[in-house]
Homo-oligomer: A and B are copies of this chain.
């Protein structure tokens, strides 16, 4: 068992970490860090809990701490998870790396740094080798998640890489939980769609090229493809839906496409790894956020990407995908990264 700390523990994403780390076989969540005005308050009393259940018992009486490396040292923290907003993440995660900590972060602050990987382990686990370079430089390292929409997109694209991805046009229908709390005002989104999410389109473009890229001699070489993203917020609680139109270099049948996706190899023996990273639905009208965001059971619930509505149109491949934005697109992926890193000796 490793002792872990969580930064940004009271926010919407932090709550998801807390929920997923309950009874985790590897990680013992011992330190909850949040804004200084919450310091000393009991988590169970102070947090505005947003998930449809209660604050888990194991953290109810933990006292919230403010960010302080000394505290982490005193509590013998081995691994740090970060659900910080980017503004703060830059400073805190950097400090922790300098102090020798492995940081698994959902924040965007370091994602595009040359020596920091964005890891989705079923897709690009070899990128985690960058942590060695970081360790040499700083003592510790940062492994990041991708942006929430990107995670689902990349998982669906990766099995198509072998056919040559020339161009991707992705249009999103994103859930409100992606904006954190308080996030989107109800007057703005109730019975409405907002066709704008700050920086999201640019993140999708940059990050997906990096994740699909190849690790060579301590560097990531981006994958070359044209990519156009159009992002909108819809009045849905959880689950980002994405329509994807892809131009492949090869001419491939839909059957082969589906087969490639279904055969995306699961990670063996990791608690949060889903048995089927990609689930194909053959119905006319799936995937749907309400029905498909939480596929799976136990610790890997919500970690699969659900794909459907395949069609070949005008020489393009078209499909819809659904990703749970705070699980695979957030806390769950960071935990899976840490599990993988631990099992393969990147963390000791």
Contacts and interface: CB of A to CB of B under 8 A. Distances in A.
Interface of A: 12, 49-50, 52-54, 167, 169, 171, 173, 176-177, 181-196, 226-228, 230, 232, 234-237, 241, 243, 245, 284-291, 293-295, 308-309, 313-316, 318, 320
A245 B184 contact: no
A181 B187 CA distance: 7
Contacts of A316: 169, 228
Contacts of A184: 185-187
Which residue, of A50, A169, A191, A245, has the highest number of chain B Cβ atoms within 10 A?
A: A191
Nearest to A171: B171
A116 B293 CA distance: 42
Contacts of A167: 314
* Cβ-closest 4 pairs across A and B: A196-B285, A182-B185, A171-B171, A192-B290
A241 B232 contact: yes
A228 B318 contact: yes
Nearest to A319: B230
Contacts of A289: 191-193
B314 A195 contact: no
Nearest to A301: B53
Given A182-B185, A185-B185, A314-B227, A236 B191 contact: yes
Contacts of A53: 291, 294-295
A336 to B, nearest CB: 21
Contacts of A228: 245, 313-314, 316, 318
Given A50-B187, A52-B290, A190-B190, A173 B234 contact: yes
A286 to B, nearest CB: 7
A228 B228 CA distance: 15
A178 B123 CA distance: 40
A123 to B, nearest CB: 22
Given A241-B232, A314-B226, A183 B185 contact: yes
Contact of A235 (B50, B186, B243, B295): B186
Contacts of A235: 186, 190-191, 234-236
14 contacts: A12-B187, A52-B293, A171-B230, A185-B185, A186-B189, A190-B235, A191-B290, A192-B288, A192-B290, A193-B234, A195-B308, A226-B315, A228-B245, A230-B318
A54 B293 CA distance: 11
B193 A52 contact: no
Point out which of A12, A171, A173, A313 has the most chain B C-beta atoms below 10 A from its C-beta: A171
Given A49-B291, A230-B318, A186 B193 contact: no
Nearest to A177: B187
A323 B139 CA distance: 53
